[in-house]
Amino acid sequence: MIFVVLAELFILLPALAGFRLDYVESRLERAQIASLALLATDESLALDLESELLQNAGVFNVVLRRNDIRQLVLSSPIPGPVFATYDLRDVNLLEAMLDGVATLLDAKDRVVRVIGAPVNQAGQLIEITMPTAPLRTAMVDYGLRLLAVSAAFSILTAVLLNLAAQRLILVPIRRVISNLSAYAGAPEDPRHIIRPDARLAELREAETALEAMQKTVTSSLKQKERMALLGQAVAKISHDLRNILTTAQIFADRLEDSADPKVRRAAPKLVNSITRAVHLCETTLAFGKAEEPPPTLSRFNLSQLVAEMVEAESLAGQAEGRVEFLSDIPASLMIRADRDQLYRVLTNLVRNARQAIEGSSKPGIVEIGAGETDAEWWIRVGDSGPGLPEKAREFLFKPFTGSARKGGTGLGLTIAAELVRGHGGRLDLIRSDAEGSEFLIHVPRDAGMEALRQAGSAR
């Protein structure tokens, strides 16, 4: 409607300006004809015709200039002073539109003077005085008729555009919406994948993109379904295998008391192998759970948490005695997070660092640092170990592929990264080279974590 009104204004204003000029010019021509008719008669007849000629011309006075002589040819009493003078010999479109709008808005009957050039070179100029009320009435009537015609064309155009939009745009869009609803109900069913057939190029491109996306989603869902079934099978196998290996571990422990020295020497290796197998089964079962619970946020002292974790890891690596733990955390630093989950994250990182140093047969350092900014808390875990191999860096946070240790599953970093993401943060590998590796944990401190926790609880 706004565009139609603007179009009507662009049409109406120039049209009314042109109509006003034509109306005034017609009055000039009538006045000129009346003047020439009067000049062609004798004086007695002119007195009788003057009033009728002025009335037919719609003017009060007529002045002709011929041969540099200005002559009042026709005259009658003027009902009021001259309100404005318009010279039609030099007028532009903008002035004509402004004068037309002024005439429409002024409801009073004014007397105006109009100057123009006579037709057929009947003189130098012609000047008339005329009322504005008949002009305004004629302009209003013309404008209404023009609006009626324009409205009829606008309605016809709107109907045609509506039919075209229904056929070319709305019908394909409704089809896409219907397809999306059906696909959302059963995304694994390939029969619900849309087949592009829109006539408009843009809609057809959209349907083609939707088709490609649906095919990708359907394929991914099928693959994930197969992986889920495989995961269930692996979980069952790991559960039963863990029980079997636990029993075997008990018997293997007894082999250390054997009287046969060869058996006693082989027993520790057998126990270690069985222990690694049991650990693999337990880790696989833990990773195969539905998902980690959402973090339960609370404020606690980070330095105390790190001290507990370092003490546990120091006892675990005490036999080797080659790893030194350094903590560079302010004693007053408080953090808002899930204490148990953050303990698991730091344990995974520190344990990986400790085992990397122990595997290098050289002494090393594991350092934990922390700090805070206005936006987040950060925790840095670094070591002086041999660094991660290229393959481990490439698949760092992918399960069963990112382990740098022989016999490892690669689940530790995967679980750690998942727990950090649950807090709305991220776990990054800052560096890994011959001088060691360094990880950085980002935990945001804004209130959005609480909403994230509630959203996770809703799931």
Q: Do 274 and 348 sit in the same domain of this protein?
A: no
Say if CB 414 and CB 397 are below 8 A apart: yes
Give me the percent of the chain exceeding a pLDDT of 90. 19
Pairwise CA distance, residues 154 & 143, whole Å: 16
Strand partners, 428: 440
pLDDT at position 410: 57
Residues 226 and 261 in one domain: yes
Q: Are residues 235 and 379 in the same domain?
A: no
Residues 23 and 48 in one domain: yes
Cβ atoms of residues 271 and 246 within 8 Å: no
Residues 258 and 141 grouped into a single domain? no
Sheet holding 376-383, edge to edge: 323-328, 364-372, 376-383, 436-444, 426-433
23 residue type, one letter: Y
Residues 137, 147: Cα–Cα separation, whole Å: 15
Does a structural domain hold residue 72? yes
Per-residue pLDDT tens digits for 193-242: 888 887 878 888 888 888 888 888 888 887 777 777 666 667 666 666 76
- Report which of residues 443 and 218 the model is more confident about: 443
Grade residue 443 by pLDDT with cuts at 50, 70 and 90. very high
* 248 plus 123 within the same structural domain: no
The reply to whether 373 falls in a domain is: yes
pLDDT score recorded for residue 407: 45
Say if CB 225 and CB 188 are below 8 A apart. Answer: yes
Hey, which of 163-167, 263-267, 274-278 has the most confident mean pLDDT? 163-167
307 confidence band (pLDDT: 50, 70, 90) = very high
**Mean pLDDT of the chain, nearest integer:** 80
Question: How many Å separate Cα 49 from the centre of its chain?
Answer: 79
Co-location of 302 and 433 in the same domain: yes
Q: Domain range spanning residue 370? A: 298-458
Q: Which of 356-360, 409-413, 450-454 has the lowest mean pLDDT?
A: 450-454
Q: Provide the pLDDT for residue 365.
A: 92
Q: Tell me, what's the pLDDT at 117?
A: 86
Q: What is the pLDDT of residues 384-405, one digit of tens each?
A: 988 888 777 776 776 655 455 5
Kindly state the tokens that stand for 137.
């009435």
Q: What is the mean pLDDT of residues 363-367?
A: 91
- End of a domain among 90, 116, 151? 151
Supply 17's token pair: 């300006």
- Angle at which helix 339-359 crosses helix 411-422, to 10 degrees, equals 150
What phi and psi, each to the nearest 5 degrees, are found at residue 446?
-75, 170
User: How confident is residue 319, by pLDDT bands cut at 50, 70 and 90?
Assistant: very low
Q: What is the CA radius of gyration of the chain?
A: 48
- Answer yes or no: is 52 within a domain: yes
Considering the domain architecture, whether residues 282 and 372 belong to the same structural domain is answered as no
Mean pLDDT over residues 182-188, rounded?
Answer: 83
Position 160 in a domain = no
Cα–Cα distance, 150 to 159 (Å, whole number): 14
Mean pLDDT throughout 303-319? Answer: 79
Tell which wins on pLDDT, 258 or 71: 71
pLDDT digits (tens, 9 = 90+) for 119-162: 776 678 889 899 999 999 999 999 888 888 888 888 888 888 88
Look at the pTM and tell me if it is higher than 0.75.
Answer: no
CB atoms within 10 A of CB 253: 14
Q: How confident is the model at residue 383 (pLDDT cuts 50, 70, 90)?
A: very high
Cα distance between residue 174 and residue 166, in whole Å? 10
pLDDT attached to residue 316: 64
* pLDDT reported for residue 187: 82
Last residue of a domain, one of 123, 151, 179: 151
**Residue 179 near residue 194, CB atoms below 8 Å:** yes
| pLDDT for 131 | 92
Q: How many domains does the chain have?
A: 3
DSSP H/E element including 382: strand 376-383
Q: Are residues 267 and 349 in the same domain?
A: no
- Looking at the structure, do residues 63 and 119 belong to the same domain, yes or no? yes
- Both 94 and 224 in a single domain? no
State residue 114's pLDDT score. 92
Q: Are residues 302 and 283 in the same domain?
A: no
The encoded tokens of residue 29 equal: 């021509």
Q: Identify the weakest region by mean pLDDT among 80-89, 173-182, 444-453.
A: 444-453
pLDDT greater than 80 at residue 454? no
